[in-house]
Amino acid sequence: MSTTHDAPTAAASGANATERFKSDKTSGVSATPSERVDLLVREVLEAVHATIRKHKVTYDEYNALKSWLIGVGEDGEWPLFLDVWVEHVVEEVATEHREGNKGTIEGPYYVPGAPQRGARGAVPMRNGEPGTPLVWSGRVTSTDGSALGQASIELWHADAHGLYSQFAPGIPEWNLRATFSTDTDGTFEITTVRPAPYQIPTDGACGKLIAAAGWHAWRPAHLHVKVSAPGHEQLTAQLYFPGDEHNDDDIASAVKPELVLAPKPAGDGRGETVSYDFVLAPVRN
């Protein structure tokens, strides 16, 4: 892992996100039945055709689209584009049956296999890691209220500058990424720092689209988690902070009221404490 001090660029983090996706997530793709490919691609294309007719799209606009799509690939920003503007509806459909904790999108920056920290501990951090210290205690239970003592909580988040290790340059591998487990009573306690709001890279194709459309590029500050336990559906979620100005207009449409934390000033005056529990749904038979 390189620890150069180049400025983060869209092309660098995009290339890393694209490689990560190719190595972890492409196994299910060939299994899509041809009836589904036919149905889904046909209907998406029909929606594109209808938009062109309705708005009398010109050749200039068609060529602008073509050149932009080429740029998304060149900048490695397909994972970013899809996770920001499409994944939230896939997540909604995939979890509509589910009881227990609300989830939300995974986004492009998850890496499996983060270092184990047991039930109580701190995420890997640099000396003097910037940001408000945060101690989070919680408990994992099943929908019937029973404690889940063999749960695992994978946590990953941006640093106080909004940058993710393994994707932005110059950050040690696994910084602000860890895997926790629960005690027999389902409890855990995680020490980390508050992340900053995240801005989509402005120098890549997604940034150009945002500027051309007059949108903003922000996600509110968030902690990503994946919570798993034997016999239960894995929960992918993000936790947010109250009062963040982008909780109401997240560019990735991934905020839900159930996922907003309520941190309090720590008793020792240094940083904050927060309590947040997870309820997992048993796997359906």
Contact footprint for ligand MBD (CB under 6 A): 80, 83-84, 105, 107-109, 198, 219, 252, 254
156 binding partner (options ligand MBD, Fe ion, none; Cβ < 5 to 8 Å by kind): none
Please report how close the Cβ of residue 98 comes to ligand MBD at its closest, in angstroms: 20
In the complex with ligand MBD, the residue whose CB is nearer, 229 or 261, is 261
Q: How far is CA 7 from CA 171, 179, 217, 279, in A?
A: 11, 28, 18, 40
84 binding partner (options Fe ion, ligand MBD, none; Cβ < 5 to 8 Å by kind): ligand MBD
In the complex with ligand MBD, the residue whose CB is nearer, 105 or 148, is 105
In the complex with Fe ion, the residue whose CB is nearer, 107 or 201, is 107
Please report how close the Cβ of residue 51 comes to ligand MBD at its closest, in angstroms: 25
- In degrees and rounded to multiples of 5, residue 166 shows phi and psi of 70, -5
| Tokens representing residue 263 in the block | 């941190």
83 binding partner (options Fe ion, ligand MBD, none; Cβ < 5 to 8 Å by kind): ligand MBD
C-alpha closest to that of 197 among 255, 147, 142 = 255
8 Å CB contact between 177 and 125: no
| Tokens representing residue 224 in the block | 């990503």
Location of structure tokens 């945060």:
134
Q: Is 100 in the site for Fe ion (CB under 5 A)?
A: no
In the complex with ligand MBD, the residue whose CB is nearer, 105 or 210, is 105
261 binding partner (options Fe ion, ligand MBD, none; Cβ < 5 to 8 Å by kind): none
Question: Is 11 buried (19+), middle (13-18) or exposed (0-12) by CB count in 10 A?
Answer: middle
Measured distance CA(238)–CA(220) in Å, rounded: 11
How many chain residues are in contact with Fe ion, going by CB under 5 A? 1
Question: Is 85 buried (19+), middle (13-18) or exposed (0-12) by CB count in 10 A?
Answer: middle
Interface characters, 103-122, with Fe ion (x: CB under 5 A): ----x---------------
Which parts of this chain interact with Fe ion (CB under 5 A)? 107
